[in-house]
Structure 1
Amino acid sequence: MLQQIETMRFLYPNLSIEKYEEYLSQMIPHNYIQIGVFENEVCLGITGCWSATKLWTGKYLEIDNFVVNPEFRSKGIGKILTDYIEQKAINLDCSSIVLDAFTGNFAAHRFYYNQGYGPKGFHFVKILDKKKLTV
């Protein structure tokens, strides 16, 4: 996963290798994995995901840190990733797939709508320490 930091930096430009490694070491024990699309060892797109259970949905799969290299956008890479995630969720017997998209990321909203996703509610956030944020 660490080898794909340059692709992750399209989403989080200020992400240091140290912070990435630290966060991954905390996330992986909680079922976090990454799925990538590669061509000739170049990462075209990558997404993280993890499964968990909530009372309202039961078992679900969460997409996290979804990014396609800007040079390869609008070429079907995102669809390859979401199709793979959907099959993974079915194989895990999940009831649903969930994700967050930043409120101002209208291109992502359009993409997810086109893939059959829709808003179910609001993800509220209270920032306690801006210095600890990656974005």
Structure 2
Amino acid sequence: MDIKIREVRESDYPEIVSLWNNDLGSPNVNLDNISERIAKMKKDENYKIFVALFENNVAGCISVVQTMALEYEVGYLKINGLVVRGDFQKKGIGSKLLKHAEDYALEKGLSYLILNTGFQRTEAHHFYESKGYDKLSYCLTKKVY
């Protein structure tokens, strides 16, 4: 399976919306807001979105941001989202996207990648652990009004 990884293009947005809604289960993404959100992200060079292409169709994508923290001298790369289309899962696409993010982090001089994943996503936990990721903390969220 010949998979190519490249930065997101506007023509990819409908497929990314489908991935986020149908395969990641995050229904807060639609064509209107994804265009606005990605436009904002592109203005800040710390954000990147990469897509995995199979036969010129988006089979998966990964969203990352370079960020700073007091405990990391040069910061780290946070994976904001990783999703692979259901019919392409378990074919190495997620692994290629993760490897691309790791290579990108190294290019930027970063030594760490961090990600959050839902408690219910046990298959994802096994996947990340098989790629060398360690469970180190809980991610807690709170909506403020």
**How much does 1:28 deviate?**
2.9
Distance 2:128 2:72 in 1: 19
Question: Which residue of the partner structure matches residue 15 of structure 1?
Answer: 29
Per-residue displacement from partner, 1:49-75 (whole Å, max 9, x unpaired)?
Answer: 111111112321111121000000011
User: 2:38 matched to which residue of 1?
Assistant: 24
In structure 2, runs of 5+ residues without a counterpart are 1-7
1:57 aligns with 72
1:96 aligns with 2:112: yes
Deviation at 1:5, TM superposition (A): 2.1
Identical positions, percent: 24
Is 1:6 aligned with 2:22? no
2:100 to 84, 105, 109: 84
Once the two structures are superposed, the pairs formed by residues 56-135 of structure 1 within 5 Å of their partners are 56-58=71-73, 59-128=75-144
Question: 2:133 and 2:119 mapped to 1: Cα distance?
Answer: 15
Give the TM-score normalised by the residue count of structure 1.
0.85
Paired with 1:70 and 1:105, the residues of 2 have a C-alpha distance of: 14
Following superposition, which runs of at least 4 residues in structure 1 exceed 3 angstroms of deviation?
Answer: none
Aligned partners of 1:102, 1:39: CA distance in 2, in Å?
A: 27
Cα distance in 2 for partners of 1:15, 1:93 equals 32
The 1:54/1:14 distance shift into structure 2, 3 A limit, reads closer
Give the superposed CA RMSD: 1.7
Number of equivalences: 129
